[in-house]
Structure 1
Amino acid sequence: MKILIVDDNPTNVIIIREILKKENYRNTNTAPSARAMFEILGIGLHPGDIVTTKVDIDLILLDMMMPEMDGIEACRIIQEYDHLKDIPIIMVTAVGDSKKLAEALDSGATDYVTKPINKVEIMARIRLALRLKKEKDWHKERDQRIQEELRLAALVQNAVLTPPLEEELFEVHALYQPASELAGDLYAWYPLGDGRYGIILLDMMGHGISSSLFCMFIASVLKDTVTTHVEPEKVIQELNRRFNQLYIENELVQYYFTAIYIVVDTRMKRIDYVNAGHPPALFFQGNGRIIMLDEVCCPVGLFDKIEMKPQSLYYEDEGHIALYTDGLMEIVEGEHDAQMDFLIGHLEGHHEWNEESMRQAFFNSELQQERDDDKCLVWITLKEGETPE
């Protein structure tokens, strides 16, 4: 526990040090001016001049009236440094002006004591300040541990996302940008045999830890569900059943997720899908026609059973399908039609995947300064070629 005494009067310094010694606070340092204090703290007169990352000062007793720079101005400068602003500062002053004392507290001082110094008063204020700092340091360390754990969890969550797939007649790629460390979007695709592929994109309600944990649960059962049940209606019903098994006692919020699941059959050139409350996928055909996959049923997790009607489409030439979460639409403010026009304008054209173009259009956009929602884009390329017998 180290206390820094800043005072231009040597007598005051001696008095304070003796008081501290008798209370077993023997680890002290002194500075005769604000400039000398800055040197001990490893900073300059202006933020950015010098920065010392490690400072072993736990409390500062700062004289308010000093030559060159008073304690109030010195306190303001200290507050500009993130690694110093949590050090408690107790002003020591002979000034009884309430406005000056209020100014000192506004500048960042934790407390103040008046001269002549009262031993009982100064020690009470020092103990209080150090106790509050200890509690603040504990919370700060805990928050740092939580942030580290969140970063690790984000790495684990990112690891379950499916890598790109490139086949002779079929390709699928994705871009993903979570709104925070942990996200509520999930995408995956699986070869189903005989030239068929299952692709799913889902968006869990909400953000943060709870949504990401629900997402990880779905990820854990997804492969088994898709490869076992295959057909869109059966897959969505099974995910609904599995999700509803997550009973949470005294749950105040009912969690659910939207999802779109597509089965592409490259032999039959057929697309089967179920859209469970998700934004409509866009199917860009080779002839320039655009079809919305907008036949929707209710989201997954709201009811024990979902009433749905699977839809089927056929294609002849090359084309591409864009699946996306609503975070992509929210880049543009305004009505739904304006958002769809923006999406279509950037997604139509060449059927081949162009990551640079998509990243520039949706993930580095200056139109959205803050990420309020997860953003995800899945791009399915349907290629021309000889269809296997």
Structure 2
Amino acid sequence: MENNINGIPGGLLTLSKDFEIEEINHTLLQLLRYDIDELIGQSVRTILTRSTQAFFQFIFYPLLIQKQQVEEVSLELMSHQGEKIPVLLYASTRLDGIISCIIVPNKKRNQYENELLEANKLAEERLKEKDRINAELQLVLHNLEEKQAEMLRINQQNLKYKTETQKELSLAKKIQETTLTDAINNEHLQIESYYHASNELSGDIYGFYQINEHQYGIILLDVMGHGISSSLITMSLVTLFQRLISKGASSDQIMKELDDQMHLLFENEEDAWHYCTAIYLSIDIKEQTVEYINAGHPPAIYLGLEGEHRELKTQGPPIGSFKGMDFKHSVFSYTKGARILLYTDGVSEPFEQGRLHSFLKKHSRASLSVAKEKLAKMLKDKENVGYRSDDQCYILIDLK
């Protein structure tokens, strides 16, 4: 072989008609790790693996005879040390029958093919994973759409329920307010009231009634808490005290029956137990006396014409606290021109201690309606500066 073909990167091999090696270049010798003297004149089978020998005889040679050339045949050579070397073979037959072969090592190609196969496999796996993720996302999206539809349905139901509930609460508020008594103003006394619920419904309730020509009954109750539950209790009590006061029952009897009613309401429902503070006044304009019972309620304030004052303090626990309680009344005489303020804790809590006494004294000469409006404004001003009010109710009485 000449030097100009010994250095090329591919192997060159010339075979006789009998497949004996006639020429071989240096590149191929290095690949096979043979010396040239070891191969010249030897059968090509010397450098072929066993499987390639059969292929060479039964497939390659007939194909070469038929077409005179073969391109890119993949086969294996055997090195001197027995190493299998994958190669690509290009061969052609000359007119004199000599076979010229070009041999290209195929290790890198196999590696590239394997890498390509691995890359294709990885791409297919990723595509399958992508399809799986897309399917899961579609499922999640479908479930989300179903949840959104369900939420929309629930919101619509809630809105309908809220609207209907608001209508029911407004109606209940109107019914509750119809039980409140109107102002009284005659030659003997004047009574004004203020009522403000922190919610639609209130746990405060009051009533004042003329019992006969010279007696009046005034009651103010505050059920624990506020809202629907408290208002239901007040409604269960209002009919009872209306009947008792109107027929002239004693203050002790009124409180006793209200207490019994509270225990009856929760006789078998301890978890729902409520109590109720209450104050009841029986005013006799003929005798000029005030009889009262205070059951756990904030003390009413009495202010005489000359500035003398007293507190109608509590004499026992709220009604509904202890079964079988006895309620004792107190009596004092009043002077004409005196004023009394009854109130719930929603009125007193926004102010510092003694403020209501000061208010009553400051406006003792103002008309009762003016005093009522000024106290209402004071409470409103407290709300405007962030005070969260409870139910608010108060009653002002002028004893003429």
Same fold by TM-score, threshold 0.5 exceeded? yes
Q: What does the per-residue CA deviation read over 1:292-337, in whole Å, with 9 as the maximum and x for residues that have no partner? A: 01141111112222233311111223111000000111112xxxxx
What is the aligned partner in structure 2 of residue 323 from structure 1?
342
Task: Compare the two structures and name the one with the higher helix fraction.
Answer: 2
> What are the residue-to-residue correspondences of 1:55-94 with 2, within 5 Å?
none
Equivalent position SS for 2:194? strand
Structure 1 residue 246, shift from structure 2 partner: 1.9
CA distance in 1, matches of 2:175, 2:209: 20
Q: Is the Cα–Cα contact under 8 Å of residues 331 and 368 in structure 1 kept in the other structure?
A: no
What is the aligned partner in structure 2 of residue 342 from structure 1?
355
What is the aligned partner in structure 1 of residue 28 from structure 2?
none
Structure 1 residue 352, shift from structure 2 partner: 3.0
Equivalent position SS for 1:316? coil
Q: Is the Cα–Cα contact under 8 Å of residues 331 and 367 in structure 1 kept in the other structure?
A: no
Structure 1 residue 156, shift from structure 2 partner: 0.9
What is the aligned partner in structure 1 of residue 234 from structure 2?
215
What is the aligned partner in structure 2 of residue 290 from structure 1?
309
Structure 1 residue 351, shift from structure 2 partner: 6.2
Report the identity percentage. 29
Structure 1 residue 243, shift from structure 2 partner: 2.6
Q: 1:119 to 1:316 in 2, by over 3 A?
A: closer
Equivalent position SS for 1:309? coil
For residue 375 of structure 2, the aligned residue among 335, 358, 365 is 358
Pick which of 133-142 and 166-175 moved more: 133-142
Equivalent position SS for 2:336? coil
Q: What does the per-residue CA deviation read over 1:234-257, in whole Å, with 9 as the maximum and x for residues that have no partner? A: 211121123322245343142110
Matched, 1:261 2:272: no
> What are the residue-to-residue correspondences of 1:146-295 with 2, within 5 Å?
146-247=165-266, 249-295=268-314
Structure 1 residue 144, shift from structure 2 partner: 2.1
Higher gyration radius (CA)? 2
Q: Is the Cα–Cα contact under 8 Å of residues 278 and 294 in structure 2 kept in the other structure?
A: yes
Equivalent position SS for 1:252? helix
CA distance in 2, matches of 1:242, 1:308: 15
Matched, 1:130 2:149: yes
Q: Runs in 1 of length 4+ with deviation above 6 angstroms?
A: 114-118
What is the aligned partner in structure 1 of residue 67 from structure 2?
none
AA aligned to 1:343 is: L
Equivalent position SS for 2:190? strand
Structure 1 residue 203, shift from structure 2 partner: 0.4
Q: Is the Cα–Cα contact under 8 Å of residues 177 and 363 in structure 1 kept in the other structure?
A: no
CA distance in 2, matches of 1:177, 1:264: 25
Pick which of 343-352 and 166-175 moved more: 343-352
Structure 1 residue 367, shift from structure 2 partner: 6.7
CA distance in 1, matches of 2:309, 2:172: 39
Q: What does the per-residue CA deviation read over 1:212-233, in whole Å, with 9 as the maximum and x for residues that have no partner? A: 0000011111111112353211
Q: What does the per-residue CA deviation read over 1:75-127, in whole Å, with 9 as the maximum and x for residues that have no partner? A: xxxxxxxxxxxxxxxxxxxxxxxxxxxxxxxxxxxxxxx99997655444323
Equivalent position SS for 1:225? helix
CA distance in 2, matches of 1:366, 1:372: 7
AA aligned to 1:346 is: F
CA distance in 2, matches of 1:247, 1:321: 34
Q: 1:139 to 1:365 in 2, by over 3 A?
A: same
Equivalent position SS for 1:249? coil
Please report the TM-score for the alignment, with normalisation by the length of structure 1.
0.63
Q: Is the Cα–Cα contact under 8 Å of residues 351 and 381 in structure 1 kept in the other structure?
A: no
Q: How many residues align?
A: 264
AA aligned to 2:367 is: E
Q: Is the Cα–Cα contact under 8 Å of residues 195 and 265 in structure 1 kept in the other structure?
A: yes
Q: 1:305 to 1:367 in 2, by over 3 A?
A: farther
